[in-house]
A = this chain, B = another copy of it.
Amino acid sequence: MFFNGISDYKLSGERFAVEYRIYGNESEAYAKAKDICIEQTVEFPEELVPEGFIRDFIVGKIEYFKPYDDNSFKVKISFCIESAAGELTQLLNVIFGNISIKPEIKVENIELPQSILSLFKGPRFGREGIRKLLKIEKRPILFTALKPMGISAKDMAELAYKFALGGIDIIKDDHGISNQPFSPFEERVKLCTEAVRAANIKTGNNAIYVPNITAPYEEVMGRAEFSKKIGAGGLLISPGLSGYDIMRQIACDDNIRLPIFSHPAFQGTYVMGREGISHGVLFGQIARLAGADGTIYPNFGGRFSFTREECEDISRRTEEPMGDIKSIFPCPAGGMSLSSIPESLKVYGNDVIFLVGSGLFKNGPDIIESSRYFRDIIDKHYV
């Protein structure tokens, strides 16, 4: 009625699907499910959606609707792959754009067909690539952070040197260290890269320094390129601050070729409560799709609130089949203490990168000694 005839575009027929958990009684939840089908696609009054391929295929389709528990339902909704336009930004928009603004809907799983997966290269390194880079065949990998904010680039490099000397494999900037005047980005990257290199010569290890490149839009790529040029060993980025797509872009960039670690800053709200995105989807599926080689998140039992089950969910998503997209490392962090490592090993097995920051400092005044102790615990407990 609004159009003199809708052009009948020929869709591929392929669809991707999202599983939502929807709260409410059956009729409320079903109404929300129907609403998602409309809201995430045509955003049009249902009765006025044009007949033909738009009504039949563009509008989302409920694939199943079943009870989850007494007060919520599991609903799988499929969308035509064309709606995502081959773009990560638009794919995320179809998955959770407008309905992020509606209460009590949570994304619990994303199912992408090969035709979408093949558009995304995912991580360049993945688990295997990182193990090769660090020359660590089997054992869990040791990760720490340079802090506190306020110390100079020189002090950071000194710390990095000690960590590397003590046997830490990956030494990153704390995620809040960007380009502050007390520790400017370029000076810091130079000094820390040199420090870790010097330690490697002493130890014979292959430790890497990973600068934080979360930065203004026009500077992110330059910081990645600078880090590469100087010889840093990886990159840290917070997609909640920078957007996911820059991570994907850097992972694809053949001039950069460095492993990427994603940090959860500014994203926590998504996983809490009844709205948002589940832990496994956000820190597992989406991080991986967007090119992270390692996904950092707060471990259970630390100073954050994730449960063991939520962490297991993330871990599972880092290695579940996902087309040609590589499996990535879970990097449990967030106030992990050294004493919790044996318990965590039971959850993660060997394919894990333990990020212990404050826990190392708390262990005692001798950083090299504490780093060695961290390594000893790993060596003693992994199977």
Sorting the interface of chain A by its residue count into under 10, 10 to 19, 20 to 34 or 35 or more gives 35 or more
| B266/A97 in contact, CB under 8 A | yes
CB–CB A90/B176 < 8 A:
yes
Q: Are B102 and A305 in contact (CB under 8 A)?
A: yes
- Known contacts being A43-B176, A367-B2, is A87 close to B7, with CB within 8 Å? no
A155 within 8 A of B: yes
- On chain B, the residues within 8 Å of A100 by CB distance are 240, 264-269
**Which residues, 156 to 184 on A, are CB-close (under 8 Å) to B?**
158-159, 174-176, 178-182
Considering the complex, give the chain B residue whose CB is closest to the CB of A242. B243
> In the complex, are the beta carbons of A150 and B50 less than 8 A apart?
yes
Q: In the assembled complex, which residues on chain B have CB atoms less than 8 Å from the CB atom of A267?
A: 100-101
Q: Which residue of B lies closest to A250 (CB)?
A: B217
Given B83, B159, B181, B241, which contacts A2 in the complex, CB threshold below 8 Å?
B159
Report Cα–Cα, A40/B268, bound state, in Å.
Answer: 14
Number of copies of this kind of chain in the complex: 2
Chain B residues with Cβ below 8 Å from A245 are 216-217, 242-243
Residues of B within 8 A of A272 (CB): 103, 273, 275
- Beyond A50-B150, A100-B264, list 18 extra A-B contacts (CB 8 Å): A6-B151, A7-B151, A9-B150, A35-B303, A42-B149, A43-B148, A44-B358, A45-B361, A50-B148, A83-B180, A87-B215, A88-B216, A89-B238, A97-B238, A97-B265, A98-B265, A216-B245, A243-B245
Q: Can you list 20 A-B pairs with a CB-CB distance of less than 8 A?
A: A2-B159, A3-B155, A6-B151, A9-B150, A9-B181, A40-B176, A44-B358, A44-B361, A48-B361, A89-B242, A90-B180, A97-B238, A97-B240, A97-B266, A98-B175, A98-B265, A100-B265, A100-B268, A100-B269, A273-B275
Residue numbers of A with Cβ under 8 A of B are: 1-4, 6-7, 9, 35, 40-45, 48-50, 53-54, 58, 82-83, 85-90, 92-94, 96-103, 145, 147-152, 154-155, 158-159, 174-176, 178-182, 214-218, 238, 240-243, 245-246, 248-249, 264-277, 298, 303-305, 334, 357-358, 361-362, 365, 367
